[in-house]
Amino acid sequence: MARPTTINKERILDIAEGIVNTSGAVNLTFDAIAKAAGISKGGMQSCFGNKQNLINEMLQRSIGSYETAVEQLVGDSKSIYDRVRAHLTLTFSEVEDSQRAAALMAAIFQYPQSMDIIQKWYRAMIEEIYQAPLMSQNLRIALMAIEGAFFLRFFGLVPVSNEQWQTMYSDILSLLESSALID
């Protein structure tokens, strides 16, 4: 098979994400990606340098896609309440996206240097919540509940049926709506 003359980074990131989703983070290697993409391992190294850079780009792309989805839900609103509610909606409605996010996070755990990207996202969200003093307690609890449910379900720590998943969503939504009444 002839190798492509140029490397499409987005296609490579799609392939890498597919490997993580189907085979697990442990199987994310330059060799596996190069073979699936029909390029050389040297082409992979030329494009990304090393696996750490690849994972960082995968993570940045995932966060960018997530932020675009949040913006579509909140529109012009700058309210942290609306952002947390959008986060709830996306986490509980986009099961395939949540599974992809969990697979990517598993890859990140192999490369702790990537954790700063995730920590930065969480710090920004939590700092924004603390700037909304009237509703900050319920927003903090809601954010932790969303993340806890996500980790429990998508890391396979606890089997969660679709019915239980929807109940969790309703419970957290009720907590958020009670926060909005305080504001």
pLDDT tens digits, 124-176: 988 888 887 666 788 889 999 999 998 888 888 899 999 999 999 999 999 98
62-69 long-range contacts, Cβ below 8 Å, gap at least 24? 62/100, 62/101, 62/104, 63/117, 63/121, 66/90, 66/97, 66/101, 69/94
| pLDDT at position 183 over 60 | no
Give the tens place of pLDDT for each residue, 29-56: 999 999 999 998 888 888 899 988 998 8
Tell me the whole-structure pTM to 2 decimals.
0.80
Tell me the two tokens of residue 10: 């987005």
Identity of the residue numbered 166: Q
Q: How far apart are CA 83 and CA 34, in angstroms?
A: 38
Find, among 12, 18, 2, 14, the residue nearest to 37 by Cα.
12
pLDDT at 163: 94
Q: Mean pLDDT, the chain, as a whole number?
A: 85
Q: Yes or no: say if 37 and 1 are a contact pair by the CB < 8 Å rule.
A: no
Give the tens place of pLDDT for each residue, 53-82: 998 888 888 888 888 999 999 999 988 889
Delimit the domains of the chain by residue range. Answer: 1-49, 62-182
Q: How far apart are CA 43 and CA 39, in angstroms?
A: 6
Fold (topology level) of 1-49: Arc Repressor Mutant, subunit A (1.10.10)
Give the tens place of pLDDT for each residue, 118-134: 888 889 988 888 887 66
